Homo-oligomer: A and B are copies of this chain.
Amino acid sequence: MSDIPDIVIGRLPIYLRELKRLAHEENKLTTSSHELGKRLGISSAQIRKDLSHFGEFGKQGTGYHINYLIEKLQEILNLTHEWPVVLVGAGYLGHALANYAGFQPRGFSIKWVFDSDPSKIGGTVAGLNIQSVNELKSTIARENVKMAIIAVPVSVVQAITDTLVESGVKAILNYVPVHLNVPEDVQVSYSDPVTQMQRMTFYLE
């Protein structure tokens, strides 16, 4: 596989996000590692070092052409086409995610929503039909879906995960506060507000 540190990969989307902001909200054409770093609280040396793993994108004396760097980062991160995403769980959080307008402009689109609650199946979220989890497997296989977001109760999350993995999903964003067991070739990213808050309370008072 790739020998580029995962921690470096993790910063690229942050750079990309801020570069787009510079381009669209501040109408800038160029920037420097120093300016970008100052805006993000990251050292300029780190930004240069991170980018140097992938090529030479800047010019001495001038800095980086923003749109060019955006394009390069999108290529590196495999964002040159839109990724279709499966959402499992149509509770409050599922609704929020399905209705979130921030996915599409940044490379993702939730295209299917599943739930196991009979009272929800057949209903609609953000214009999408809520389907039974029984159809999860066939849909993923048929549509060759690689990414999923999980927002279901703790009790069923590992079973849902197993189904996703069996069906061919390779990347999961998990909103359920539980560690998932998956094969090595499947990416998992976690989002648990409580864990994040508990980390911060350590530093309070």
Stretch with Cβ within 8 A of B (4 or more), from A64-72, A133-141, A187-195 = A187-195
Residue of chain B at shortest CB distance from A175? B193
B contact residues around A14 at 8 Å (CB): 179, 195
- The interface residues of chain B lying within 8 Å CB-to-CB of A179 are 14, 18, 39-41
Number of copies: 2
Interface residue count on the A side (C-beta < 8 Å): 59
Inter-chain CA distance A185–B98, complex, in Å, is 35
A53 → chain B, closest Cβ, in Å? 12
Return A74 CB to nearest CB of chain B, in Å: 9
CA distance A85 to B196 in the complex (A): 13
Any chain B CB within 8 A of the CB of A121?
no
Q: Tell me if A146 and B204 are in contact (CB < 8 A).
A: yes
Whether A197 lies near B171 (C-beta < 8 A) is yes
Q: A40 to chain B: which residues have CB within 8 Å?
A: 179
Q: Report if A200 contacts B (CB, 8 A).
A: yes
Picked from B16, B173, B193, the residue with its CB within 8 Å of the CB of A149 is: B193
Some 8 contacts from A to B, beta carbons below 8 A apart, are A10-B199, A12-B198, A17-B194, A83-B197, A92-B95, A93-B96, A95-B95, A173-B200
